[in-house]
Amino acid sequence: MKNILLFLFLFCWTMSSSAQDFQLGKVTEAELQEKKHPKDSSAVAAVLYKKARTFFTYTVKTGFIANHEIKYRIKIYKKEGLKWATFAVPYYIGYEELTPDVIKFSDAVTYNLEQDKITKTKLTSEGNFVEKVNRYWKKTSITLPNVKVGSVIEFKYVHKSENIFKFPDMILQYDIPVNNFQYTTQIPEVYIYKTLLSGYNEVKNSSEISFGSTSYENEVKQTAHLSYKQINTNYTAHDLPALYEEDFVDNTDNYTSKIQQELERIRYTDQPDKDYSVTWEGVAKTIFKEKDFGDELLKGRYFASGTRTIIEGKTTQTEKMEALFKHVQEKMNWDKTFGVYVDQGVEKAYQTSTGNVAEINFILINMLNLVGIQANPVLVSTLDHGVPAFPGRSGFNYVIVGALVDGKDFLLDAAHKFTAPNILPLSLINWTGRMIQSDGTSTEINLMDRPISKSIVGLSVKIEANGRVTGMYKNQKTDFEALAFRENNADLTSEDQIEKLENKVKGLSVKEYNVTNLKTDFSKPLIESFAFELEHPFDVIGDKMYLNPVLFLKSLNNPFKSQDRKMPIYFGPTKQEKFIISIDIPEGYSVEFLPIPIKMAAQDEIASFSYNAKLEGNKLQVAVTNQINKVIVASEYYEMLKEFFQKSVDKLSEKIVLKKA
- Options 3.30.1300.30, 3.40.50.460, 2.60.40.3140, 3.30.1310.10; CATH of 29-275: 2.60.40.3140
Closest by Cα among 353, 396, 352 to 378? 396
Q: Which residues contact 576 (CB under 8 A, 6 or more apart)?
A: 452, 453, 454, 455, 625, 626, 627, 628
For residue range 331-386, list pLDDT tens digits in order.
999 999 999 999 999 999 999 999 999 999 999 999 999 999 999 999 999 999 99
Put residue 218 in one of left, alpha, beta given phi > 0 → left and psi -120 to 50 → alpha. Answer: beta
* Predicted local confidence at residue 390, as pLDDT: 84
Secondary structure (3-state) at 65: strand
- DSSP string over 527-596: EEEEEEEES--EEEETTEEEE-TTTTSS--S-S--SS---SPEE--S-EEEEEEEEEEPPTTEEEEE-PP
For residue range 599-658, list pLDDT tens digits in order.
999 999 999 999 999 999 999 999 999 999 999 999 999 999 999 999 999 999 999 999
Instruction: Give the Cβ contact number of residue 11 at 10 Å.
Output: 11
- Let me know: does 532 contact 613? Beta carbons within 8 Å: no
What residues does 70 pair with on adjacent strands?
52, 157
- Let me know: does 508 contact 501? Beta carbons within 8 Å: yes
- Let me know: does 157 contact 103? Beta carbons within 8 Å: yes
Secondary structure (H, E, C), 193-205: EEEEEECCCCCEE
- Let me know: does 455 contact 577? Beta carbons within 8 Å: yes
Q: Domain 453-660: give its CATH architecture.
A: Sandwich (2.60)
d(CA 595, CA 651): 8
From first CA to last CA, the distance across the chain in angstroms is 60
Domain residue extents for the chain: 29-275, 280-446, 453-660
Which CATH fold topology does 280-446 show?
C8orf32 fold (3.10.620)
* Predicted local confidence at residue 19, as pLDDT: 52
d(CA 1, CA 364): 32
- Let me know: does 475 contact 460? Beta carbons within 8 Å: no
Give me Rg for the CA atoms of the chain: 30
Which stretches in the chain have pLDDT values below 70?
1-20, 220
For residue range 65-103, list pLDDT tens digits in order.
999 999 999 999 999 999 999 999 999 998 888 999 999
- Quote the Cα angle for 275-281-286, to 5°: 80
Instruction: Give the Cβ contact number of residue 358 at 10 Å.
Output: 27
Stated pTM of the model: 0.88
Contacts 24+ apart (CB under 8 A), 21-24: 22/49, 22/51, 22/71, 22/73, 22/180, 22/182, 24/71, 24/73, 24/107, 24/109, 24/154, 24/156
* Predicted local confidence at residue 392, as pLDDT: 85
- Quote the Cα angle for 332-333-339, to 5°: 100
